[in-house]
Amino acid sequence: MQATNGNASVGLPVLARQRLLARCLGKQELADKLVQLLLSGLPKDALEIQNAIDSKDMKQVATLSHRLKGAAANMCADTLSSAAAALESAARHHDSEVLPTSWFTLQQQIDLVLQELTS
Amino acid sequence: MTIKFTTASAVRNTTKVLIVDDDPISLELLANFLEDLGYSFERASDGKEALAKMRLFNPSIVISDVEMPEMDGVSLCREIRKRRSIQYTYVILLTYRSEQESVLLGLDAGADDYLSKPFSPEELRLRLNTGQRLLSLEGRDMMIFSLAKLAESRDEDTGEHLERMREYSRIIAEELMSWPKFAPIVDGQFVELIYLTSPLHDIGKVGIPDCILRKPGKLTPEEFEVMKQHTLIGAETLKASAQAYSDATFLWMAYEIAVNHHERWDGTGYPNQIRGEDIPLSARVVSVADVYDALTSKRVYKPAFSHEKSIEIILEGRGTQFDPDIVDAFMKLESRIREIALSYSDRDASSSISKLPLMYSPLPSSVVHNTEVT
């Protein structure tokens, strides 16, 4: 599946499965396990980030989006990783103008990945 | 690049690794790679949990993410460096390429290396190999020093004599590096080797009978002849080891120090009465370091002499007992020598009283014979 939402993600795969499999040294079982971890973690991550934004805890927003950035990069979900990096940056700089947009984009990417993984 | 890992079941690596990351995906990947490489490992999800696990698991290598809740990787690194541990812990931080500041903070906190996320299994393997190489060197150094301490403990309770002596030897050698006369011989490797091997100078004592080695009073001439053999016993042992393990070149310096550290510049020392520059430079350096430390330490037959008095005695031996150049280098370093002497806490402890037999002392005879044995 190709991403269709968000300018940065146009034409890029939501999850580069072949690259992920190579990263797992060809172990399909490991790749599946990582997918399950991402699938189960994403809704929780989204909720925690929302709570941190609601309570204006920018440090927590940065920490959570940083973790998501890493997880997504490990999963070869590059657009999700980029979106998380943008939110992390906005939180670190206390940029209240950019932050809502970044969070919106990240939510879109999270939804796309969840759709991809559950389809 | 095709990566071929040896399966865990084929080779089990005894090195223990603690992996620390708040991202379960990263932990799972790391765990899988380490499993393939045959490492024993434990997981922790933040710095606090990592510290708790370290106490029980005692890892040699810690791979930690930087950004984590509770305690981050940089703070974890600082805590690891604060711990008093008999072994070194090699720390690799996981960062992002964009996080240059984190890398610098981490290295400043004592991290040894860093790995950029997302890393490849091959990168991880190479970084771990580097860590293991460093740890194996530490293991070798620790083993050498432990053997020296073991030999030392048989006849003397000299506190931190070996620690001080190797420090004196090291800074004298460092000084000689800048002297044109010694530049062709003394380089960084020489300095490292003398630091490593000087503590083995009396390893041959393990072959001296207790009745002589532990005799509290003056040795008879016959007993002294036996005592002198410690130089040859140590030398033979080290030579045999050097021949058996040709890669262990450091053993040759240990050998030349063990056999020659009681030789005197004027040729009246033992066991071979060689003189001047026939005595290897390493042994000439250790000879001064050894005597200075004996002078400034309390012995059963003498109090600990002051730094000034000890310097006076060293100067008296310039050109007779000691190589004049080494004494000159020693004098140039006088304030640093004194700092090292003061930096060890056992100077006045009663436990530092030596049971060293009187005639066996490396001290000038005037010092030994003018002092009452108590």
ipTM of the shown complex? 0.84
Interface contact flag, B28 A30, Cβ < 8 Å = yes
Among B27, B29, B63, most A C-beta atoms within 10 A, so best to mutate, is: B29
Give residue ranges of A with CB < 8 Å to any B CB. Answer: 23-25, 27, 30, 33-34, 37-38, 41, 63, 66-67, 69-71, 73-76, 85
User: For residue B69, which residues of chain A lie inside 8 Å, CB to CB?
Assistant: 63
* Residue B78 near residue B110 (C-beta atoms within 8 A): yes
Residue the block writes with tokens 């532990």: B214
Average pLDDT over residues A88-105: 94
pLDDT at res. B356: 38
The shortest CB-CB distance from B117 to any of A37, A73, A76 is to: A73
Residue B325: which residues within 8 A CB-CB, separation 6 or more? B176, B179, B181, B182
B42's enclosing H/E stretch is strand B40-44
Q: Evaluate if residue B260 carries a pLDDT over 50.
A: yes
The shortest CB-CB distance from B69 to any of A33, A63, A75 is to: A63
Interface contact flag, B3 A25, Cβ < 8 Å = yes
By CA distance, what is B1's nearest residue in A?
A22
**pLDDT per residue over B289-314, tens digit each?**
999 998 998 776 678 899 999 999 99
* DSSP line for A44-98: HHHHHHHHHHHTT-HHHHHHHHHHHHHHHHHTT-HHHHHHHHHHHHHHHTT-TTH
* Residue B61 near residue B15 (C-beta atoms within 8 A): yes
With a pLDDT cut of 70, the percent of chain B lying above it is 84
**pLDDT per residue over A26-50, tens digit each?**
999 999 999 999 999 999 999 999 9
Determine the distance in angstroms separating the CA of A89 from the nearest CA of chain B, rounded to an integer: 11
Determine the distance in angstroms separating the CA of A25 from the nearest CA of chain B, rounded to an integer: 8
Determine the distance in angstroms separating the CA of A8 from the nearest CA of chain B, rounded to an integer: 19
Average pLDDT over residues B153-178: 85
Quote the CA–CA distance of B95 and B18 in Å, as a whole number.
17
Nearest to B294 by CA among B224, B364, B226: B364
Quote the CA–CA distance of B333 and B335 in Å, as a whole number.
6
